[in-house]
Structures are given as structure tokens and as C-alpha cells.
Amino acid sequence: MADDGENSVDNKPTDDSKPEKMFTLKKWNAVAMWSWDVECDICAICRVQVMDSCLRCQAENKRDVLGRQDCVVVWGECNHSFHHCCMSLWVKQNNRCPLCQQEWSIQRMGK
């Protein structure tokens, strides 16, 4: 986060939280968005955002309400990422990463 540097300086006020203070934080309802931790938002194979299902899955309307188990993201050792569906079709033809031509091997899968 951007404000990491100020952390150490401002740590004290949190510690000596006394009731006389004008304002005390009681509750925080925060909002955060999750997305795949990828370098490129768009799957190079189907050119759809990796957050969406791949084009073929969209066409088949395969997304179920539980999320996108059917169309997760896969990272190669080269750290390039694609839709798992797209990649599994791709490797049948050519077992190399479409972006860097390295031998394709799965580093991790999104869950």
C-alpha cells in the first residue's frame, strides 16, 4: 500500500487510545474488490478479460451462480496467465506459452 511509510510514525495514537479523545473509531465496514492477480487483465487467447469467463464459456452460458469454477485463471511458470479453458485448448496444439514461447507448465491455478 502507498501509505506504508507513515505506518511506523503514526503507530502511537492507536496504542494510547484514551476515552478523552474527541473521536474513537468503533467500527469499520470496508469494501474490497478481488480480482485475479495477473499482469494482464485480458486473456491473450480469447481477448476477454480474465475476470469474465472466456468467450466460449460465455457463449455456452456456463457460468453458474457459485462463481467461475469452470473458467478459472491459470498461471504458467513464465507468470503469464490465461483462462484455463483457453489454455487447455491451446496446449493441445502447441505446448508453449502464447506470449513468450516458453515451454508451458502450470505454476498455479486460481481458486
List interacting residues with another protein (CB under 8 A): 1-3, 6-7, 10-11, 13-14, 17, 19-37, 46-49, 51-52, 55-56, 58-61, 63, 65-67, 73, 75, 108-111
Q: How far is the CB of 103 from another protein (least distance, A)?
A: 21
Place of cell 474490497: 32
Do 97 and 80 contact (CB within 8 A), yes or no?
A: yes
Q: How far is the CB of 93 from another protein (least distance, A)?
A: 11
Do 41 and 48 contact (CB within 8 A), yes or no?
A: no
Q: How far is the CB of 92 from another protein (least distance, A)?
A: 11
Nearer CB in complex with another protein: 62/100: 62
Sequence-ordered list of residues with C-beta below 8 angstroms from that of 36, at least 6 positions apart, any chain: 50, 51, 73, 81, 110
